[in-house]
Amino acid sequence: DQQVKQNSPSLSVQEGRISILNCDYTNSMFDYFLWYKKYPAEGPTFLISISSIKDKNEDGRFTVFLNKSAKHLSLHIVPSQPGDSAVYFCAASRSNDYKLSFGAGTTVTVRA
Amino acid sequence: ETGVTQSPTHLIKTRGQQVTLRCSSQSGHNTVSWYQQALGQGPQFIFQYYREEENGRGNFPPRFSGLQFPNYSSELNVNALELDDSALYLCASSWGGLRRDTQYFGPGTRLTVL
């Protein structure tokens, strides 16, 4: 049962433009959400997180938005850079349960 | 400060065999989690160890077992290997236990079962 879904397997964006990655979840008990970035032959690298008490968290070029009523979150990357080309995973967890539930990932390609 | 390391990088086994994968946690971390990532999918939680005890388990059969040592390094053991066990196995460490914290991943071990 896939509780975290990333419905877009790939995204292509021009350098300098905005990348928007989407993630939906079904478990209303999830209260902590993370984005990880993964390059080939490397493990996922933590990017940014958000708690359910917030609806927005920003870190440099990366902003995560959370819409609890829609059970939806998104990651905005502005401006996109060639080094952002990677697979991005959305993950979620709930209080007192430290396992992460991951989506299937979105492959981002930033074109020069 | 060293990051999370895993060994070996790649491994090929045949059905029915047993395998042990190893993970060294990031310095200062006392919690380790193991994940299985099949091709085209996101990582799936196997189990977590906190201070040498299993702290939670995902939907994996008992032939998947683990250990955490006093220095917080960890092993994942898989018995009676099946073809579907072919995957990337990731470990992640954190300063967690009773406090949720960001998990930091190693590069993974690619297991191929023939």
Q: Give the separation between CA A17 and CA B52, rounded to whole angstroms.
A: 47
pLDDT-derived band at B2 (thresholds 50, 70, 90) equals low
At residue B100, the pLDDT reads 57
pLDDT above 60: residue A88: yes
Mutation target vs A (from B32, B53, B105, B109; most A CBs, 10 A cutoff): B105
Q: Does B106 touch chain A (CB under 8 A)?
A: yes
At residue A71, the pLDDT reads 97
Show Cβ contacts of residue B2 under 8 Å, excluding neighbours closer than 6 positions.
Answer: B24, B26, B27
Q: Which residues of A touch B103 (CB under 8 A)?
A: 46, 100
- Shortest CA gap B76–chain A (Å): 16
Q: Does A42 touch chain B (CB under 8 A)?
A: yes
* CB pair distance less than 8 Å for B102 and A49: yes
Angle at A37 between CA A32 and CA A38, to 5 degrees: 130
**Closest residue of A to B105, CA-based?**
A43
Q: Give the separation between CA B20 and CA B5, rounded to whole angstroms.
A: 15
Checking A28-33 for CB contacts under 8 A at 24+ apart, the result is A28/A71, A29/A94, A29/A95, A30/A3, A30/A92, A30/A93, A30/A94, A30/A101, A31/A93, A31/A94, A31/A95, A32/A92, A32/A93, A32/A94, A32/A95, A32/B100, A33/A64, A33/A66, A33/A73, A33/A90, A33/A91, A33/A92
- Shortest CA gap A74–chain B (Å): 17
Mutation target vs A (from B5, B37, B39, B89; most A CBs, 10 A cutoff): B37
* CB pair distance less than 8 Å for A44 and B94: no
Q: Which residues of B touch A102 (CB under 8 A)?
A: 35, 42-44
Q: Give the separation between CA A47 and CA A39, rounded to whole angstroms.
A: 13
DSSP state letter for B26: P
DSSP state letter for A84: G
pLDDT per residue as tens digits for the range B10-65: 999 999 999 999 999 988 888 899 999 999 899 999 999 988 899 889 999 999 99
pLDDT-derived band at A99 (thresholds 50, 70, 90) equals confident
How many Cβ pairs within 8 Å bridge chains A and B?
Answer: 58
Mean of per-residue pLDDT scores for chain A: 94
Structure tokens at B110: 């690619």
- Asked if residues B67 and B75 have their Cβ atoms less than 8 Å apart, the reply is yes
Q: Does B31 touch chain A (CB under 8 A)?
A: yes
- Asked if residues B104 and B3 have their Cβ atoms less than 8 Å apart, the reply is yes
**Closest residue of B to A95, CA-based?**
B100
Q: Which residues pair with A56 in a beta bridge?
A: A65
Mean of per-residue pLDDT scores for chain B: 91
Please compute the mean of the pLDDT values over residues A8-19 and round it to a whole number: 97
At residue B101, the pLDDT reads 65
**Closest residue of B to A6, CA-based?**
B42
Structure tokens at B21: 């994968």
At residue A94, the pLDDT reads 86
